[in-house]
C-alpha cells in the first residue's frame, strides 16, 4: 500500500482491504464469510459519504458558474467531464456486482437488489467461489475477460485524470500519487518462491479465489477508490478557479471624466469603475517618456498568457508610491507646446510571482491664448483678406476648424483669413476635436460691407494752397485709403478732369488714367498766383474691379 502520502480516508480503506485479503487467504467458514457483509456495508456507507461530498463540490461549481461564467466555465466543464466518466465507471462496476450476484443466486435477487442497491443480509450464496471467477475470468484470462475489461476501464479513467490538464506533469505531485494509488491496477510485488501467476496478475489477484461476499467487498472497495480519485480531482479543479488570483483587501470607487472642461452643448461623460488594491504591499511603477509602447510582450507557452517586460535600452524612472494610498504621481512641467507621450510598467507581487501591467497616455501642451474682439465692430470687408483670430480654450489650434456662411475661411499661420462673397450678414461657425470627435463649439455673427471710398489727393492734399512748382512736380492724382482703415488696400485712379478759369473763361482738360499729361501741365503753367485749380469727375477702381467716384480736389496757387 506504499503509494506516497495518503489521506486518512485512504488509510482506512487500505486497512479494510488488508483485512479482506487476509480473510480470503484463509479457508474460512460460513460464519467468517458472514463478516464480509459487515465490511461491505461499511464500504458502501463510506462510498455514499464520498458521493455526498462530491455532490456538494459540483453544486459549488454550478454556483460559481452563475456568478462568473467566463472565469469558471473551463474548470466547470472539466469537472463535469470527470463526473460523467466517474459515474459511468461506477455504474459499470455496480452492474458487474449485480450480474455476478444474480448468477450466484440463480436469478432470485428481487429481495437482494432494491433500486440498484444490494441488501447484504438477504444474500444466500455467500460461499459461492465459482461464480465470481467464472464470470470475471472464465476458463482462462483473455482480453475479453470481464476482469481484463474492468482493468482497462480503470486504467483509461486513471489516464484521463492524470492528463486532464494536458500532461501528467501539470498536476501537483501529491495529486498524481493519490490518483495512481486509488486507481492502481498492479498486483502486489512478490519475491522468490512466492511469486506465481495468481500473485503477479492483477485480475487473478483480485478475482481468482474470491467467494461471493469477498467479491462484492472487493468491488465496493474499487468504487470507493474511484470516488476518492474523483473527489481529489474535482477539489483540485475547483481550487483552480481562483488559483493565481491577486488578493485585494481594499476597494475604491473611481471616477474618470472625459474632461473637466465642457463647452456648452456638449456632453459630460465619466467612467465609473471599481478599483482594488492590496494595502499590505505597494506596487512598483516604472515610467519612460516619448515612447508609444514602452514595454515588450512575450507569450508564455505554458499558460498561454501574454507577459510584459521592460524594454531594453529605455531610460525608465521609478515613480515614488505613497504607501498609504498605493498611488504614484507622474508630474511634468508644460514647458514646450506639443503632444507628449508617456507610459511604462506597473509591477506587483502575485501568488505566482511578479505581475506586470503596461500603461500608456498622451497629453498636449498648448500655448496660452486670449481672444479680444469688440462686439460692435464685427465687420468683414469685401475684396480684402480679413484676418481672424479663432481659438477654443483648452484645445490646440490644429484641432480647431472654422467655416463661414457667406464666404470662405482658410488658415494663415496661427490665424485665419476670411474672404466674404457679398454684402449682408455672415455667421462664422467654429468646431473643435473633443475626445476624438468633431463637435461644434460656437458661432458668431458678422456684417459684410464694402470697403470705404478712398480719398483723391495731389501732393497729399485734398484742398488748400499749393505752389505752382510743387503742383507741376506731381505725377498725377492718387487715391489713398482713409487713415483709420487698417487694411493694405490700393485703388487706382482711372480718369479725372482738371478745371481752371483763365481770363474769365473756364478751361478744362479731361484725362484718362491717373497721370498729368502735357495739356494739364500747360494749363497750370498759364495760371497766375492766386488762381484756383479744380480736379473733378475723379474715378477710381479697386481690387474688386468696381469703379467708384471720388470727391473733387480744390487747390489754390500761391
The answer on pLDDT for 215 being more than 90 is no
Q: Classify 379-449 by CATH class.
A: mainly beta
In this structure, are strands 463-466 and 553-557 parallel, antiparallel, or unpaired? parallel
pLDDT of residue 532: 94
Give every CB contact of residue 539 below 8 A, 6+ residues apart in sequence: 493, 494, 495, 496, 547, 548, 549, 550
φ, ψ for residue 409, nearest 5 deg: -115, 135
The answer on pLDDT for 11 being more than 80 is: no
> 468, 419 in Cβ contact below 8 A?
no
Selection from 75-89, 97-111, 305-319 with the highest mean pLDDT? 75-89
| pLDDT, tens digit (0-9, with 9 covering 90-100), for 374-397 | 555 789 988 888 899 888 887 888
pLDDT, position 118: 83
Under 8 Å between Cβ of 19 and 191: no
Q: What is the mean pLDDT of residues 205-229?
A: 88
Rounded Cα gap, residues 72 and 65, in angstroms: 5
Q: Where are the beta strands (DSSP E) in 235-293?
A: 250-257, 270-277, 284-289
pLDDT class for 88, splitting at 50, 70, 90?
Answer: very high
Interatomic CA distance for residues 334 and 326, integer angstroms? 26
pLDDT exceeds 70 at position 317:
yes
Fold agreement between 379-449 and 455-557: yes
CA torsion angle for 407, 409, 410, 411 (degrees, to 10)?
150
Is 265's pLDDT higher than 70?
no
Helix, strand, or coil here: 292?
A: coil
Choose between 97 and 260: higher pLDDT.
97
Tell me the three state secondary structure of residue 73: helix
Q: Three cell numbers at 320? A: 515614488
Report the distance separating Cα 30 and Cα 22, nearest Å.
Answer: 16
pLDDT tops 50 at residue 1: no
| 3-class DSSP assignment, residue 309 | strand
Using the predicted structure, report yes or no on whether residue 219 has a pLDDT greater than 60: yes
Going 224 to 225 to 229 to 235, the CA torsion angle's sign is: positive
The pTM score is: 0.50
Q: What pLDDT score was predicted for residue 26?
A: 47
Q: Nearest 5°: phi and psi at 346? A: -105, 130
Top-confidence residue, 412 or 38? 412
Q: How confident is the model at residue 226 (pLDDT cuts 50, 70, 90)?
A: very high
CATH topology for 455-557? Immunoglobulin-like (2.60.40)
Least confident of 253-257, 295-299, 500-504: 253-257
DSSP class per residue in 416-451? EEEE--SSEEEEEEEEEEETTEEEEEEEEEEEEEPP
Q: Return the H-helix or E-strand segment holding 155.
A: helix 146-162
Q: Are strands 284-289 and 270-277 parallel, antiparallel or unpaired?
A: unpaired
Instruction: Give the residue extent of every domain in the chain.
Output: 8-240, 283-365, 379-449, 455-557
- Alpha-carbon separation of residue 270 from 238, 260, 261, 265, 392 (angstroms): 37, 10, 12, 16, 22
Rounded Cα distance between 101 and 552, Å, is 138
Amino acid at each position: 500500500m506504499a503509494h506516497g502520502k495518503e489521506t486518512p480516508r485512504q488509510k482506512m480503506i487500505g486497512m479494510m482491504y488488508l483485512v479482506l485479503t487476509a480473510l480470503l487467504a484463509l479457508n474460512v467458514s460460513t460464519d467468517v464469510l458472514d463478516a464480509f457483509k459487515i465490511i461491505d456495508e461499511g464500504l458502501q456507507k463510506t462510498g455514499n459519504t464520498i458521493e455526498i461530498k462530491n455532490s456538494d463540490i459540483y453544486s459549488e461549481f454550478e454556483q460559481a458558474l452563475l456568478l462568473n461564467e467566463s472565469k469558471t466555465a473551463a474548470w466547470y466543464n472539466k469537472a463535469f467531464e470527470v463526473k460523467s466518466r466517474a459515474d459511468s465507471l461506477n455504474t459499470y462496476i455496480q452492474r458487474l456486482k449485480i450480474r455476478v450476484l444474480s448468477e450466484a443466486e440463480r436469478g432470485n435477487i428481487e429481495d437482494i437488489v432494491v433500486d440498484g442497491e444490494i441488501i447484504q443480509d438477504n444474500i444466500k450464496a455467500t460461499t459461492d467461489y465459482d461464480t465470481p471467477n467464472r464470470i470475471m475470468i472464465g476458463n482462462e484470462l483473455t482480453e475479453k475477460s470481464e476482469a481484463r475489461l474492468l482493468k482497462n476501464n480503470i486504467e483509461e479513467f486513471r489516464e484521463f485524470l492524470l492528463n486532464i490538464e494536458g500532461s501528467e506533469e501539470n498536476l501537483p505531485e501529491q495529486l498524481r500519487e493519490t490518483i495512481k494509488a486509488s486507481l492502481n491496477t498492479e498486483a502486489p510485488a512478490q519475491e522468490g518462491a512466492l511469486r506465481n501467476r495468481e500473485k503477479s496478475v492483477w485480475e487473478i489477484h483480485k478475482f481468482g479465489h474470491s467467494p461471493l461476499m469477498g467479491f462484492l467487498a472487493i468491488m465496493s472497495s474499487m468504487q470507493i477508490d474511484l470516488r476518492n480519485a474523483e473527489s481529489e480531482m474535482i477539489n483540485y479543479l475547483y481550487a483552480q478557479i481562483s488559483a493565481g488570483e491577486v488578493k485585494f483587501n481594499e476597494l475604491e470607487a473611481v471616477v474618470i471624466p472625459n474632461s473637466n472642461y465642457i463647452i456648452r452643448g456638449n456632453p459630460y461623460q465619466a467612467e465609473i469603475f471599481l478599483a482594488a488594491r492590496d494595502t499590505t504591499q505597494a506596487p512598483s511603477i516604472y515610467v519612460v517618456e516619448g515612447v508609444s509602447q514602452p514595454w515588450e510582450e512575450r507569450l508564455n507557452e505554458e499558460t498561454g498568457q501574454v507577459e510584459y517586460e521592460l524594454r531594453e535600452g529605455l531610460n525608465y524612472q521609478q515613480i515614488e508610491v505613497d504607501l498609504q494610498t498605493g498611488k504614484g504621481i507622474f508630474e511634468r512641467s508644460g514647458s514646450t507646446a506639443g503632444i507628449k507621450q508617456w507610459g511604462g510598467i506597473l509591477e506587483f507581487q502575485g501568488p505566482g510571482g511578479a505581475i506586470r501591467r503596461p500603461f500608456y497616455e498622451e497629453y498636449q501642451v498648448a500655448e496660452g491664448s486670449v481672444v479680444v474682439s469688440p462686439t460692435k465692430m464685427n465687420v468683414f470687408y469685401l475684396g480684402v483678406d480679413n484676418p481672424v483670430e479663432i481659438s477654443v480654450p483648452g484645445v490646440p489650434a490644429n484641432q480647431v476648424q472654422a467655416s463661414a456662411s457667406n464666404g470662405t475661411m482658410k488658415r494663415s499661420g496661427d490665424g485665419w483669413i476670411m474672404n466674404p462673397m457679398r454684402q449682408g450678414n455672415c455667421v462664422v461657425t467654429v468646431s473643435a476635436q473633443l475626445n476624438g470627435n468633431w463637435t461644434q463649439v460656437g458661432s458668431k455673427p458678422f456684417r459684410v460691407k464694402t470697403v470705404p471710398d478712398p480719398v483723391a489727393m495731389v501732393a497729399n492734399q485734398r484742398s488748400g494752397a499749393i505752389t505752382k512748382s510743387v503742383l507741376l512736380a506731381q505725377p498725377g492724382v492718387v487715391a489713398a485709403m482713409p487713415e483709420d482703415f487698417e487694411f493694405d488696400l490700393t485703388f487706382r485712379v482711372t480718369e479725372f478732369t482738371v478745371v481752371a478759369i483763365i481770363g474769365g473763361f473756364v478751361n478744362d482738360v479731361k484725362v484718362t488714367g491717373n497721370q498729368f499729361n502735357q495739356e494739364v501741365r500747360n494749363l497750370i503753367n498759364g495760371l497766375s498766383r492766386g488762381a484756383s485749380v479744380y480736379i473733378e469727375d475723379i474715378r477710381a477702381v479697386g481690387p474688386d474691379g468696381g469703379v467708384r467716384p471720388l470727391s473733387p480736389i480744390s487747390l489754390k496757387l500761391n
